[in-house]
Amino acid sequence: MNYIPRVKPEDVGVSPDSIKRFVKRLEDLKLPMHSILIARHRQLIYEGYYEPYKGDSLHRMYSISKSFISVAIGLLADERRISLEDPIIKYFPEKLPGDLHPWIRKMTIKDMLRMQTCHYKTTYKEDLTKDWVESFFIKKPHHEPGTIFRYDTSSSHTLGALVEKLTKKPILDYMREKFLEEIGFSKDAYMLKDPFGISMGGSGLVATPMDIMKFAMLIMNDGRLGERQLVPAWYIKEATSHKTDNKVEGAIFEETLGYGYQFWCISHGGFACYGLGGQLAICLPKQDIICITTADTTCIKDGNQYIYDSLYEEILPFLI
C-alpha cells in the first residue's frame, strides 16, 4: 500500500496559520464541508473530517469519476487498443439506429473526452430508452461534433462502457490492475451501475477522500510512482491541458478557464477534478500543492468558487 507521509505544514513551506484561516473561512461561509485534505511536495499537511464523516467513510464523488474514465481511456490508447481519433460508433455497432445521423457517425473519442460531442445535454436523462449507452447514439444531435463545449455526462458514461467492453472487466477492476492497487486505493471503493449493469463512469465513483488524494498525486507526478510509470505521461500532459474553450458554459469563474480530457483547467496554471456539490481535487503543479474536498454545496450559489477563492487567498500567497 502506498502510504502518504504526514509532515508539519512548515516543513514544506506552508504556514500553519494560513491553513487555519482557510478552514475557518470555509466554516464562516457555512459551507457544509465533509472533508478537507491538503498536501504539498507529495506529503500530507492537513487532514480534517466533519461529523459524521471519517477518514474511511466512502463518499460519492460524482463527476470526479470522469477524470478516472479519462485515465482509463489513456491507458487503452497507450496500449494501442484504441485511437483517440477513432469514431465512437466503431465500437458500438449493435447500438446504432438504422437512420444514423452523420454527425453521430463522425463523432470521435477525442470529441467525447473534451466535451465537444454533438449533443446539447446528457442523453440518458431523456425518456428515449432504458439503455443509457444506446441513448447516446439514438438521440437526435444538436450540432456538429468538435465545434463547441457542452457538458455531457452521457459521453463519459459511454467512454466508460467502451473501457468495460474492451477489457471485459468493470472499470475499477481494470484500473486496479493497472495502477489503483499500486497507489493504495481503497478495496471497498466501487462504482454505481446503470440499469444495464454498466459502471456509471460519468458520476458513479464511491471512494474515500484519501483515494482521491492518491489519484491526484499520481496525476500531478505525471503518472509516476517512485521509479514506475503507472500512467502514460504523454496522456496526462494532454488530458490536463487546455483543449476546449468553455467560457460560455461555466457556472462559476473556475469553470470558464478551459477543459482538457475530462479535467478542468483552473487558475494559477492548475487543473482540477470536479464533482457535483463540492467534490474537488484542486491540483496546482507550479506550487506543488493539492487540495481535496468533499462537501454538499449543491444548494449554495457559487459554493465551489468559495472553496477555490479561499485556497487561493488564504494559503497560496503565504507559500515559501
The answer, yes or no, to whether the previous bond of 195 is cis (omega within 30 of 0) is: no
- Dump pLDDT digits (tens) for 173-219: 999 999 999 999 999 999 999 999 999 999 999 999 999 999 999 99
- Per-residue pLDDT band for 6 (boundaries 50, 70, 90) equals very high
Whether the Cβ atoms of residue 105 and residue 64 lie closer than 8 Å to each other: no
**Is 166 contained in some domain?**
yes
Question: Residue 132: is its pLDDT beyond 60?
Answer: yes
Percentage of the residues of the chain whose pLDDT score is greater than 90 = 96
Please report, for the domain that includes residue 280, its CATH number: 3.40.710.10
**Is 269 contained in some domain?**
yes
Domain region containing 132: 9-318
**Is 1 contained in some domain?**
no
| Counts of helices then strands in the chain (DSSP H, E) | 10, 11
- Residue 124 DSSP symbol: G
| Strand arrangement of the beta sheet that strand 270-275 belongs to | 43-49, 33-40, 289-295, 279-284, 270-275, 264-266
Q: Give pLDDT, residue 277.
A: 97
Percentage of the residues of the chain whose pLDDT score is greater than 70 = 99
Cell matching residue 30: 457555512
From CA 317, how far away is CA 74, in angstroms rounded? Answer: 35
**Is 237 contained in some domain?**
yes
Q: What domain count does the chain have?
A: 1
Question: Residue 162: is its pLDDT beyond 70?
Answer: yes
- Dump pLDDT digits (tens) for 262-288: 999 999 999 999 999 999 999 999 999
Q: Is the dihedral of CA 10, 11, 13, 18 positive or negative?
A: negative
- Dump pLDDT digits (tens) for 22-58: 999 999 999 999 999 999 999 999 999 999 999 999 9
Q: Give pLDDT, residue 251.
A: 84
**Is 129 contained in some domain?**
yes
- Per-residue pLDDT band for 248 (boundaries 50, 70, 90) equals confident
Whether the Cβ atoms of residue 145 and residue 113 lie closer than 8 Å to each other: no
Pairing of strands 228-229, 224-225: antiparallel
From CA 107, how far away is CA 60, in angstroms rounded? Answer: 30
Mean pLDDT of all residues in 152-180:
98
Angle at alpha carbon of residue 282, lines to 280 and 287, rounded to 5°? 165
From CA 63, how far away is CA 223, in angstroms rounded? Answer: 21
Task: Tell me what the pLDDT averaged over the chain comes to.
Answer: 97
**Is 249 contained in some domain?**
yes
Mean pLDDT of all residues in 15-24:
98
Question: Residue 1: is its pLDDT beyond 60?
Answer: no
Mean pLDDT of all residues in 104-131:
92
What b/e string do you get for 249-272 counting C-beta neighbours within 10 Å, with b at 16 or more?
ebebebbbbbbbbbbbbbbeebbb
**Is 217 contained in some domain?**
yes
**Is 144 contained in some domain?**
yes
* pTM, to two decimals: 0.97
